[in-house]
Amino acid sequence: MKVQVPKKALADALHNVERIIPTRSSNPGLNLLRIDLLGDALRFSGTNLDIDIESTVRADVRGDGSLALPAQVFGQVVRALPGDVVDIDVAESELLVSAGDFATRLQLVDPDSAPTVRFPDAYTGTLPARAFARALGSVRYAAAVAEYQAIFRGVKLELSDAGSRAVATDGFRLAYYDLDALSGLDAELIVPARSVDEMIKLAHDGDVELAVAEGQVSIRTDDVRLNVKLMEGTFPDYRRVIPSSFPVTITLDAGTLREAVARVAVMADKTANNRVDLFIKDGTLQITAEGAYGRSQEAIPVQQEGTDAEIALAYNAKYLTDALAPLEATLRVSFSGPTSPSVLADPDDPSYLAMVVPLRTG
């Protein structure tokens, strides 16, 4: 065989699979990268048992067959290569990688010892890649981290002919994002947050095609295919907990609030939920924090509805900052009460909604 391939495209394709394939594994062979030689491309594949991946790079290929070697070392070698073009050859169970005056011989292993991954034949759903990544990226922070939180550690995808929504919650906060596109599918999928991170990284151009099967969702882009194992269980009925009546509502610039919270929170007590206090009265939002070293405060003029009312409440500063991150323009914060959830959204673009439960301060 002989292969010639542009270095950057090769490095990119390898980078996609390297992130998935474990460096070390007690499961023999799981650290291996499988390389299939196609007529005009190299196809790399591997798995970590939660995610199967296949990444293809166009190349000038003479010969066919399959090879396998540890994924990580091949990626390292390729990134260190000089020049723009890489030549690859095989001799006596070694992979010869050369570029310019540089040459490496990498020990190959039996391709039968590498895992084989299989992808669906048909992808019946489609979503625009950027919007898909944005929806997942906007809500992913609200997924739970702790092991015991089970199903809360996933992001739910609600796909139907009524819409396409990504939603996540850990019980203390919630975020959803409605895509302005229909997928053509009718399914409710709960994707582990760590697999969501990979889906976000791979969805950047054109369309993402989707296929749903028992316990698995698959996505396909121009050069990558991914199988993701779904979480089992019932996602809570989150709609029930989003309040609908708000005695006080304020409107202000999202960036102004984000920066003010970050500044004031420097003094917040990290051992007491990183607490910041908000007090709204007469069109002014006062933010304060107090900790072992002293006290910070900042006042922001806001447009207030329910002007005869005032409200005082406290949040975990990190929850506020996370909820504000996807918001860029005008922000409306709607307060249902001092101990019941507050809702953050852009009044001009309702696709993203965040809900944060205040801290109990009693």
Contacting its own copies within 44-73 (CB under 8 A): 69-70, 73
> What one-character DSSP code corresponds to residue 104?
E
Exposure string for 253-281, b = 16+ CB within 10 A, e = fewer: ebeebbebbeebbebbeeeebbbbbbbbe
Amino acid (1-letter code) at residue 342: S
- Calpha distance 251→300 (Å, rounded): 11
Best CA proximity match to 360, nearest among 335, 340, 336, 344: 340
Using DSSP, state whether 319 is helix, strand or coil: helix
Residue 267 in the binding site for its own copies (CB under 8 A): yes
Residue 298 in the binding site for its own copies (CB under 8 A): yes
Residue closer to its own copies, measured from CB, 104 or 251? 104
Residue 293 in the binding site for its own copies (CB under 8 A): yes
Q: How far is the CB of 146 from its own copies (least distance, A)?
A: 28
Cα–Cα distances in Å, from 52 out to 70, 203, 322? 16, 16, 30
Of the ranges 113-121, 129-137, 195-203, 298-306, which one interacts with its own copies (CB under 8 A)? 298-306
Residue 106 in the binding site for its own copies (CB under 8 A): yes
Residue 7 in the binding site for its own copies (CB under 8 A): no
Residue closer to its own copies, measured from CB, 32 or 202? 32
- Calpha distance 291→295 (Å, rounded): 6
> What one-character DSSP code corresponds to residue 357?
P
Count of residues that interact with its own copies, criterion CB under 8 A: 33
- Calpha distance 338→348 (Å, rounded): 26
* C-beta neighbour count of 148 within 10 angstroms: 7
Of the ranges 98-106, 141-149, 305-313, 329-337, which one interacts with its own copies (CB under 8 A)? 98-106
Residue closer to its own copies, measured from CB, 113 or 160? 113
Per-residue binding letters, 227-266, with its own copies (x by CB under 8 A): --------------------------------xx-xxx-x
Q: How far is the CB of 258 from its own copies (least distance, A)?
A: 12
Do 247 and 271 meet the contact criterion of CB atoms below 8 Å apart? no
Of the ranges 11-19, 184-192, 271-279, 290-298, which one interacts with its own copies (CB under 8 A)? 290-298
Residue closer to its own copies, measured from CB, 297 or 330? 297
Residue 101 in the binding site for its own copies (CB under 8 A): yes
Which of 38, 91, 213, 299 forms a contact with its own copies (CB under 8 A)?
299
- Calpha distance 260→284 (Å, rounded): 13
Which of 105, 194, 201, 229 forms a contact with its own copies (CB under 8 A)?
105
Q: How far is the CB of 362 from its own copies (least distance, A)?
A: 25
- Calpha distance 73→134 (Å, rounded): 32
Best CA proximity match to 206, nearest among 91, 128, 143, 273: 128
Residues in the chain: 362
Contacting its own copies within 121-140 (CB under 8 A): none
Q: Which residues bind to its own copies, rule: CB under 8 A?
A: 69-70, 73, 76-77, 80-82, 94-95, 101-107, 259-260, 262-264, 266-267, 292-300
